[in-house]
């Protein structure tokens, strides 16, 4: 026991003396956090970038444009150039829609009320955008019509937002980010460190002593578990302070759930690193093990968007219960008692992966 602890302690010191290892362990997940935090953070409101061509010089048309762009829904793009170049930009996705007010827009009609027809251009490939913009504008115009004709419509629609939890996109994404950084800490870090020690002969030297592979595996798990916990903690602190992460559950429940999760993921790193002869082998094995977890476990998009049959299969991928569990704790305030199925699956993977690790470990 003393040997395992002293080994873990010595390895931890060694780790903190290695600037490259420190960078990849602590800065990498943070870069990831900032990139995805930037994408999913921000404003959740729908906003359309619009180029407006007002060919009318009526006061009504001018007021209409300024009212439209002073709201939150439309953001006017003024550097779009000609209508043709604006349509081109729309084709590339730089603009959402193009509005044209014809020359006679706002001119009085037979009842001497302002009238006219708006032209809305949208990309054929994005019919939803076109429909949404058209319906938003229709309701704006309907309001104006009602004011002008002084009539109240007998029927109307009242919009009520259904996501009353008040959680932002980032709050949902963060659980995926935490799961992903645990995965990358465990697999990308460990799987290359162990073969590097084989290559330079330092494991060869330890092999000549009574220190057993099982002791080496447990010692490595301990020190890397400690380092990983620090990295995740740092990520959480930044998520809460910079991205206003809204934690619904308890941090204690999160910690209780994370420990077995991380032990399981470390097992995969130990398995790949321990079984590989050299760094080339471990690089290939790392991809084989990590890629399915990265793309099929709900890191980048939730699993419930997958077809049913794929959901059924991907539920058993080791990282899936981890991300599902974290998401349920952080967004639904679930506790480890509620997460029995997830923890059971994680326990099963722990047994399996550590048995394989002990069996397939090689000193050189």
Partner 1 sequence: MAQLPIIAVKNLTKRYGSTTTVKGISFEVKKGEIFGILGPNGAGKTTTLEMIEALRPIDGGTVLLDGIDVAKKPQRIREIIGIQLQSSNFYDKVTLKEQLKMFGSFYGESVDPMELLESVQLAEKSKSFPEKLSGGQKQRFSIACALVNKPKVLFLDEPTTGLDPQARRNLWELIQTINADGITVVLTSHYMEEAQLLCDRLAIMDQGEIIALDSPKAMIKQLLKRGFTKKEQVEQADLEDVYIDLTGKALRE
Examine residue 214 and tell whether it contacts partner 1 (CB under 8 A). Answer: no
- State in angstroms the smallest separation of the CB of 8 from partner 1: 10
**124-132, 161-169, 185-193, 198-206 -> range binding partner 1 (CB under 8 A):** 198-206
Question: Contact between 206 and partner 1 (CB under 8 A)?
Answer: yes
User: Is residue 209 within the footprint of partner 1 (CB under 8 A)?
Assistant: yes
The region of 43-51, 205-213, 253-261, 346-354 touching partner 1 under the rule CB under 8 A is 205-213
Segment contacting partner 1 by CB under 8 A, of 120-128, 194-202, 281-289, 299-307: 194-202
Choose which of 153, 154, 166, 210 interacts with partner 1 (CB under 8 A): 210
Q: Nearest CA to 245 among 300, 168, 299?
A: 168
**Per CB under 8 A, 7 contacts partner 1:** yes
* Least distance from partner 1 to the Cβ atom of residue 262, Å: 24
Rounded to a whole number of angstroms, the minimum distance from the CB of residue 258 to partner 1 is 29
In angstroms, give the least distance from the CB of 21 to partner 1: 10
Q: How far is the CB of 16 from partner 1 (least distance, A)?
A: 9
Q: Which two tokens stand for residue 179?
A: 């799961």
Q: Is 2 in the site for partner 1 (CB under 8 A)?
A: yes
208, 288, 305, 337: residue in contact with partner 1 (rule CB under 8 A)? 208
Q: To 10 degrees, what angle do helices 213-241 and 2-16 make?
A: 50
| Contacting partner 1 within 10-49 (CB under 8 A) | 10-11, 13-14, 17-18
Choosing from 165, 169, 200, 244, the residue that interacts with partner 1 (CB under 8 A) is 200
Distance of alpha carbon 242 from alpha carbon 237, whole angstroms: 8
362 contributes a contact to partner 1 by CB under 8 A: no
Give least dist CB 11 to partner 1, A. 8
277 binds partner 1 (CB under 8 A): no
Contacting range for partner 1; rule: CB under 8 A; set: 203-211, 294-302, 325-333, 344-352:
203-211
Nearest one of 163, 167, 187, 165 to 175, comparing CA atoms: 167
Which is nearer to partner 1, 61 or 203 (by Cβ)? 203
CB 51 within 8 A of CB 86: yes
* Contact window for partner 1 (CB under 8 A) among 204-212, 265-273, 278-286, 338-346: 204-212
Pairing verdict, β 107-108 and 114-115: antiparallel
Among 49, 88, 123, 197, binds partner 1 (CB under 8 A): 197
Interface with partner 1 (CB under 8 A), residue total 23
Separation CA 195–CA 280 (nearest Å): 9
Catalog residues that contact partner 1 under the rule CB under 8 A. 2-3, 6-7, 10-11, 13-14, 17-18, 197, 200-202, 204-212
């Amino acid at each position: 026991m003393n040997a395992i602890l002293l080994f873990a302690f010595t390895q931890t010191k060694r780790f903190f003396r290695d600037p490259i290892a420190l960078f990849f362990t602590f800065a990498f997940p943070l870069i990831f956090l900032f990139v995805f935090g930037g994408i999913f953070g921000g404003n959740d409101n729908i906003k359309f970038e619009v180029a407006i061509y007002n060919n009318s010089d009526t006061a009504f048309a001018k007021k209409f444009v300024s009212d439209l762009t002073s709201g939150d829904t439309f953001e006017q793009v003024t550097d779009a150039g000609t209508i043709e170049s604006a349509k081109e930009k729309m084709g590339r996705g730089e603009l959402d829609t193009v509005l044209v007010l014809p020359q006679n827009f706002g001119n009085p009609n037979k009842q001497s009320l302002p009238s006219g027809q708006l032209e809305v251009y949208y990309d054929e490939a994005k019919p939803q955008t076109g429909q949404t913009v058209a319906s938003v504008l229709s309701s704006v115009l309907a309001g104006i019509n009602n004011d002008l004709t002084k009539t109240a419509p007998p029927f109307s629609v009242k919009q009520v937002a259904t996501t009353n939890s008040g959680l932002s996109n980032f709050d949902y994404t963060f659980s995926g980010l935490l799961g992903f950084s645990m995965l990358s800490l465990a697999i990308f870090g460990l799987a290359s460190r162990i073969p590097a020690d084989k290559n330079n002969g330092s494991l060869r030297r330890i092999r000549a002593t009574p220190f057993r592979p099982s002791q080496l595996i447990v010692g490595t798990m301990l020190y890397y578990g400690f380092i990983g916990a620090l990295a995740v903690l740092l990520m959480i602190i930044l998520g809460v302070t910079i991205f206003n992460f809204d934690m619904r559950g308890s941090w204690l429940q999160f910690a209780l759930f994370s420990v077995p999760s991380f032990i399981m993921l470390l097992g995969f790193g130990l398995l790949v690193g321990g079984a590989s002869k050299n760094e080339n082998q471990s690089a290939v094995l790392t991809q084989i093990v990590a890629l399915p977890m990265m793309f099929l476990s709900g890191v980048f998009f939730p699993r419930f968007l997958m077809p049913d049959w794929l959901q059924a299969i991907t539920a058993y991928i080791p990282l899936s219960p981890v991300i599902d569990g974290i998401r349920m704790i952080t967004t639904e305030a679930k506790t480890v008692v509620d997460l029995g199925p997830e923890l059971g699956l994680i326990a099963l993977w722990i047994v399996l992966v550590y048995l394989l690790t002990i069996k397939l470990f090689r000193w050189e």
